[in-house]
Chains A and B, each alone.
Chain A
Amino acid sequence: EAAVTQSPRNKVAVTGGKVTLSCNQTNNHNNMYWYRQDTGHGLRLIHYSYGAGSTEKGDIPDGYKASRPSQENFSLILELATPSQTSVYFCASGDAGEGTEVFFGKGTRLTVV
């Protein structure tokens, strides 16, 4: 079973603070993704990556940066956290190319107060 590990699993941050969400995968997948899940919106794509050193913008990248320093690791960075970024964040990984299964981490619940 493919493994995607997110840390932390829960985080409370203050408005204006910097938050880093980390994701590690041991599947040797080229692609990694960050989504946020909010009631009524489903999963929305924030950033994704095709491999080490690459980051691409998804549908809602504003207020977020991403970093892919290695095949295994993909971080989501909130430089100036806002209450509107309170959400559950999911990291996922998958092989390159169409139509291969994407594997999700267990999620990070972020609350910005």
Chain B
Amino acid sequence: GEKVEQHESTLSVREGDSAVINCTYTDTASSYFPWYKQEAGKSLHFVIDIRSNVDRKQSQRLIVLLDKKAKRFSLHITATQPEDSAIYFCAASKANYNVLYFGSGTKLTVEP
């Protein structure tokens, strides 16, 4: 099956700086790459996604980049705020299926 590797287990940035979280995947058939956020003690909720027909997507302060050749995708959070502090999970799924395989998570801390 698909294996998603999330490279940063922890990340600490100062408020206002940018944060970047990197993920790689193994299955060339994967074509959908969402990101989920988990605040302390809570469940996961969707934040942004990217499909394989594009290489960049932005939603407000969140930017996702996809490099299909390298099988790598990344989440960029610009102008970070304390409320961005959470665990972020990347995931991948194959075309025509909606079964997500997750990375191990990155704990982001935004320091004031």
Interface residues in chain A, defined as those with a beta carbon under 8 Å from any beta carbon in chain B: 31, 33, 35, 40-45, 48, 58-59, 90, 94-107
Contacts and interface: CB of A to CB of B under 8 A. Distances in A.
B101 A31 contact: no
Contacts of A97: 96, 98
A99 B89 CA distance: 16
A94 B102 contact: no
Interface string B9-49: 10000000000000000000001101010000011111001
Given A45-B99, A94-B98, A101 B44 contact: no
B99 A99 contact: no
Given A42-B6, A90-B43, A90-B44, A100 B102 contact: no
B102 A102 contact: no
A101 B1 CA distance: 21
B1 A31 contact: no
A44 B89 CA distance: 12
Interface of B: 1, 6, 9, 31-32, 34, 36, 42-46, 49, 51, 89, 93-105
B105 A42 contact: yes
B98 A42 contact: no
Nearest to B99: A48
Nearest to A29: B98
Given A98-B93, A104-B43, A106-B42, A41 B104 contact: yes
A98 B89 contact: no
Given A35-B102, A42-B104, A104-B44, A99 B51 contact: yes
A103 B100 CA distance: 11
Nearest to B97: A98
B43 A105 contact: yes
Contact of B89 (A42, A59, A105): A42
23 contacts: A35-B102, A40-B9, A40-B104, A41-B104, A42-B6, A42-B104, A43-B102, A44-B102, A45-B100, A58-B99, A90-B43, A94-B98, A96-B98, A98-B31, A99-B31, A99-B49, A101-B34, A101-B49, A102-B100, A104-B36, A104-B44, A105-B43, A106-B42
